[in-house]
Structure 1
Amino acid sequence: MNSRESQLKAFDRLLTIMDELREKCPWDQKQTMESLRPLTIEETYELGDAILDKDLTEVKKELGDVLLHIVFYAKIGSETNDFDIADVLNSLCEKLIYRHPHIYGDVQVKDEKQVKENWEKLKLKEGKKSVLEGVPKSLPALVKANRIQDKVAGVGFDWEHPEQVFEKLKEELSELQEEVEKQDKDAMEGEFGDVLFSMINYARFLKIDPENALERTNKKFIKRFNYLEQKASEMGKSLGEMTLSEMDVFWEEAKNI
């Protein structure tokens, strides 16, 4: 591993390159915070993919891309005299120190749960009107539901046992089935949302990340479906020309590869 001196030197090198690109590169000169935003979101998802794939070489690369965007935003902020990278870093350091009184103060905590509860209480003291204020509006719905539940649990609004959540899930499934029988589309959508919300809550109690779990299933399905397509091609057929029974044979084979 590199020494702290080498790490700081590398960061200084990045800042110098960012200055030069902003001064000399037509593309970099043109960028704004608004134009960078969708690219930053894309880079974050690419980092997430690399993490799920457990590809550490790719994780290192994608971390660099995300860091570049952070430095880029700070550079733009410095040009309008609003903030620079030092302001970003110092603000972050002060926040971390303030929100970890069990490390930098005399607060005692017994476990990770208490740390999270203190974190949310401190954020409210900072002026936030709601615990949910920090949940980004543009988060995908599944991720947002998970964050909402995590946030409210941090201030004690939560079930006590996984069994209670499972009972709630069964209740929501029953309510969904009632609306399905009535064929009320709007009510069905509402109850389906309640089922998903309960499923995500149950995943949290089982200490399963629902986003990771669903993406794992997505990857599994894609792999099996690609095998099915390959076998159909080897038979000189398209999937549309195969019966469900024929496809099911290859689908079962795909489960064992």
Structure 2
Amino acid sequence: MLKHTQELLDIMSRLRHPQEGCAWDLKQDFTSLVPYLIEEAYEVADAIERNDLDDLRSELGDLLLQVVFHSQIANERGLFNFEQVSEGICNKLIRRHPHVFAGAVFNTDEERQQAWEREKAIERQAKSKADEPKSVLSGVARNLPALIECEKIQDRAANHGFDWPDALPVFDKVLEELNEVKEAWQSGDQAHIQEEIGDLLLVAVNLARHLNVNAEVALKESTKKFSRRFQHIEQQVKASGLNLKDCDLAELDALWDQAKQALKLS
């Protein structure tokens, strides 16, 4: 094993030592570490988005720590260890890439993707419990961001024939769902409004799929664009000696249009 990999494992073991370890580290378990695991994954993504490669190296280390931390807890309970985690992912990568490791030939990306999905289906079947209902949707992580979970669920269904043939009918479905949101809003039934908003978001994700757009990335980019424009408005209002609350909506809308033009040229 590489020097610093073993050093990291030794440090984690010492931090979890019952008598000589760190009190905070000793209190942690699989569940308590979940928020940190998710946070570190997002911080890796943020470093990549900012193209900060020094920070990326650091954040990957923080994410690796979470893998080591979970592996250490599992080892203490006699479940598995870091070496077995590494072995598992090595075996999975080899299974899923028969064109690299087993001489298989795929003539198109579609053939390769179909083989990948078949292998994943076999893996899901092997992991499923006898009393669990069998479904092609089984195995999608419940803690994924909602847009990503929705896209994965729809991809699974589409791979088994449940999908529109192209984007055109999805546009119609978006309009249909939007009208149903308006009807729910007019009814004043908040639970119904929430349900219909959910349906609208779901079909918007479906439209994104058909247009080969990642819904999570698209929303992230639009949110950043909104933030840039709003910050431009803040700067203009501050320069005039006012506060945002001093301006009426018409004034803010005019500044928004200015921001769109100014940032489009920058």
Structure 1 position 13 matched with structure 2 position 7:
yes
Distance change >3 Å, CA 223–CA 209, structure 1 → 2: same
Contact 1:74 1:85 (C-alpha < 8 Å) held by counterparts? yes
Q: Does 1:159 align with 2:164?
A: yes
Number of equivalences: 251
Shift of 1:180: 4.6
Structure 1 position 244 matched with structure 2 position 241: no
Structure 1's unaligned 5+ residue stretches are none
Contact 1:43 1:65 survives alignment (8 Å): yes
The alpha-carbon distance between structure 1 residues 97 and 153, as it changes in their structure 2 partners (threshold 3 A), is: farther
Shift, 1:83, TM fit: 0.4
Give the TM-score normalised by structure 1: 0.84
Tell me which moved more, 81-90 or 176-185.
176-185
Scaled by the length of structure 2, what TM-score is found? 0.81
Measured on the aligned residues, the alpha-carbon RMSD in Å equals 2.5
Select 1:87's aligned residue among 84, 88, 95: 84
Q: Which runs of 5+ in 2 are unaligned?
A: 129-133
Q: In structure 2, what is the Cα distance between the partners aligned to 1:184 and 1:27? A: 46
| 2:16 aligned counterpart, secondary structure | helix
2:23 paired residue number = 26
- Trace 1:1-257 onto structure 2 (pairs within 5 A): 8-23=2-17, 24-105=21-102, 107-126=104-123, 127=125, 128=128, 129-180=134-185, 184-255=189-260, 256-257=262-263
Structure 1 CA distance, aligned partners of 2:59 and 2:78? 29
CA–CA separation in structure 1 for the residues paired with 2:101 and 2:157: 25
Residues 117 and 155, structure 1, Cα contact 8 Å, conserved in 2:
no
Aligned AA for 2:252?
A: M
Tell me the distance in 2 between the aligned counterparts of 1:153 and 1:56: 37
| 1:201-244 deviations in Å (ceiling 9; x for gaps) | 12122221111111111112122222222322232322111122
Distance in 2 between the 1:195 and 1:223 partners?
A: 26
| Residue equivalent to 2:131 | none
Deviations 1:97-137 (A, max 9, x none): 22333333354433333333333333333324322222112
Q: State how far apart, in whole Å, the 2-side matches of 1:91 and 1:28 are.
A: 26
2:172 alignment partner AA: E
Which stretch of structure 1 is more off in the superposition, 84-93 or 226-235?
226-235
> Is the partner of 1:133 in helix, strand or coil?
coil
**Cα distance in 2, alignment partners of residues 17 and 87 from structure 1:** 19
**Mapped partners of 1:187, 1:36: distance in 2:** 36
| Counterpart amino acid of residue 10 in structure 1 | H
- CA distance in structure 1 between the partners assigned to 2:106 and 2:164 by the alignment: 21
